[in-house]
Amino acid sequence: MAGRLTIHPMHKIILKAGREKSLKRRHPWVFSGAVDRLQGSPGAGETVAVQSRDGEFLAWAGYSPDSQIVARAWSFREADTIDAGFFRRRIGESVAARPVFPGADAWRLVHGESDGLPGLVVDRYSETLVAQITTAGAEFWREAIADALIAVTGVKNILERSDVDVRELEGLPSKVGVLRGEVKDEPVVIEENGVHLSVDLWRGHKTGFYLDQRDNRALTRQVTREYSHGADVLNCFCYTGGMSVAALAGGAKSVLSIDSSGPALAIAADNVKQNGLAADRAEWMEADVFQALRQLRDRGRQFDLIVLDPPKFAPTAHHAEKATRAYKDINLLGFKLLRPGGHLMTYSCSGGISADLFQKVVAGAALDAGVDAQILRRLGPGVDHPVSVHFPEGDYLKGLLLRRG
Ligand code: SAH
């Protein structure tokens, strides 16, 4: 039964000789190719002990029989017991590690592997938590996790947004629904950097909003402010207009925002209104950014600040080549649309593209656009999205603030 401690002969995964190295470096994943044999008969999500060929204890891990990542470590300490108390402690540590974000009531509480909780993401949106469970191991402990979240945060309402493709690889169905308390199917208004933003928790991307970009939205506002006569801003892949609101709040003269999602744009326009910002300075375009940038170029449009925050083009290094071409394309067009002295804020949230590679792509784009550019800042997610030093895969979001020469 899910989450209940059962008495059973210990289930074990015994690794092939030499394949214990990555667990010893505290990387939490066990790939099926590293497994020599399985002892016992663990069900999906049950806890297994992972041992080296020589019988050395390596980790307690959640078993994922259908996945190529056959187990993910909960703990590297043999003395630990993986039970409801374990989740309460670990979630408690994770929540306690988050600082207070001034002018914000929404942030990430649990960030998967980087918080020692593979397969679990939890975001707080004011008085509602949104949980996303992506592995058999986390699914097995779902009820204990929900209880721990309530006990630790005191928040009573939890929505589950386990509707992500990766669940398929784990043999888990897509699931959206109330996990605890009451969560109405209506927009939740959060505060971020002192502005108010509506979030559709039930249907929005990820858990509803891109909380990882909070600091960078604040930076958008700050950079916009540097233009004392008002900046013309282009916000590409604007989603619900977080960056657009930031630019308007920073005094932008005009903000053109582009996204392919009609529902996201409708929320974005509302977000401008509910912050009392001049709607006549905001222009919305429902379009494919790749095409829209070409149209803008052909019409000779120019901007002072351009934000490029596309979806992840390369989930893994496998897709890096194709993704690289896409990043090059939009950044090249971005540089062409930028006035001399203008700023480009450009991002990649692709796990498969390193910060190094991203910088090279952007440099290539500037070269082909025939412009010089300086990097003013290297950007990443906020501190509520930490990256474990043992889990480089967690380092997905990277960005650059550039100034065109
Ligand atoms: N900057 C946003 C987050 C962007 S997420 C924020 O601060 O909240 C990426 C967005 O790109 C999504 O809203 C998605 O609808 C949009 N998108 C994906 N592919 C697109 C395309 N080819 N053209 C336009 N928008 C696209």
Q: From the CB of 261, is ligand 1 less than 6 Å away? A: yes
Residue 1's pLDDT band (cuts 50, 70, 90):
very low
> How far away, in angstroms, is 61 Cα from ligand 1 center?
35
> How far away, in angstroms, is 103 Cα from ligand 1 center?
25
Q: Where is 69: in which H helix or E strand?
A: strand 69-75
N-term to C-term CA, the chain: 63
Alpha-carbon gap, residue 284 to 265, rounded angstroms = 7
Q: Residue 17's CB: how many other CB atoms inside 10 A?
A: 9
Mean pLDDT of 124-137: 98
Alpha-carbon gap, residue 289 to 234, rounded angstroms = 11
Q: Is the pLDDT of residue 2 over 80?
A: no
pLDDT at 9: 58
Q: How many alpha carbons lie under 13 Å from residue 47 in its C-beta half-sphere? A: 24
Mean pLDDT of 249-253: 98
Amino acid at 403: R
Do 256 and 248 form a contact (C-beta atoms < 8 A)? no
Average pLDDT, the chain: 96
Give the residue among 145, 130, 123 at the shortest CA–CA distance from 45.
145
pLDDT tens-digit map of 62-86: 999 999 999 999 999 999 999 999 9
Q: Is the pLDDT of residue 224 over 90?
A: yes
For ligand 1, atom 11: residue with the closest CA: 237
> How far away, in angstroms, is 299 Cα from ligand 1 center?
23
Query: 335: helix, coil or strand?
Result: helix
Which of 259, 294, 347, 349 to mutate to test ligand 1, by most ligand atoms within 8 A of the CB atom?
259
pLDDT at 319: 87
Alpha-carbon gap, residue 334 to 401, rounded angstroms = 13
Q: From the CB of 284, is ligand 1 less than 6 Å away? A: no
CA 210 to ligand 1: nearest atom = 8
Give pairs for 261-264: CB < 8 Å, separation 24+: 261/286, 262/286, 263/200, 263/203, 264/205, 264/238, 264/239, 264/240
For ligand 1, atom 10: residue with the closest CA: 237
Q: Where is 91: in which H helix or E strand?
A: helix 84-96
- 13 CB-near residues (< 8 Å, 6+ apart): 30, 35, 37, 38, 39, 48, 49, 50, 51, 61, 63, 70, 71
For ligand 1, atom 9: residue with the closest CA: 311
> How far away, in angstroms, is 106 Cα from ligand 1 center?
20
Do 327 and 289 form a contact (C-beta atoms < 8 A)? no
Residues serving a catalytic function are 349
**CA of 393: how far to CAs of 27, 112, 246, in Å?**
10, 11, 29
Q: Tokens 């930490």 correspond to what residue?
A: 386
Query: 379: helix, coil or strand?
Result: strand
Alpha-carbon gap, residue 232 to 310, rounded angstroms = 20
pLDDT tens-digit map of 276-326: 999 999 999 999 999 999 999 999 999 999 999 999 998 788 888 999 999
For ligand 1, atom 23: residue with the closest CA: 288
pLDDT at 160: 98
Both tokens of 304, joined, read 């002072």
**What is residue 354's DSSP assignment?**
-
pLDDT at 8: 53
pLDDT at 314: 83
Which of 237, 240, 322 to mutate to test ligand 1, by most ligand atoms within 8 A of the CB atom?
237
Q: From the CB of 219, is ligand 1 less than 6 Å away? A: no
Residue ranges of domains in the chain, CATH in brackets: 2-75 (2.30.130.10), 84-186 (3.30.750.80), 189-404 (3.40.50.150)
> How far away, in angstroms, is 388 Cα from ligand 1 center?
27
> How far away, in angstroms, is 238 Cα from ligand 1 center?
6
Q: From the CB of 213, is ligand 1 less than 6 Å away? A: yes
Calculate what percentage of the chain has a pLDDT beyond 70.
98
Alpha-carbon gap, residue 146 to 140, rounded angstroms = 12
Q: Residue 380's CB: how many other CB atoms inside 10 A?
A: 18
pLDDT at 318: 85
pLDDT tens-digit map of 139-186: 999 999 999 999 999 999 999 999 999 999 999 999 999 999 999 999
For ligand 1, atom 7: residue with the closest CA: 242
CA 261 to ligand 1: nearest atom = 15
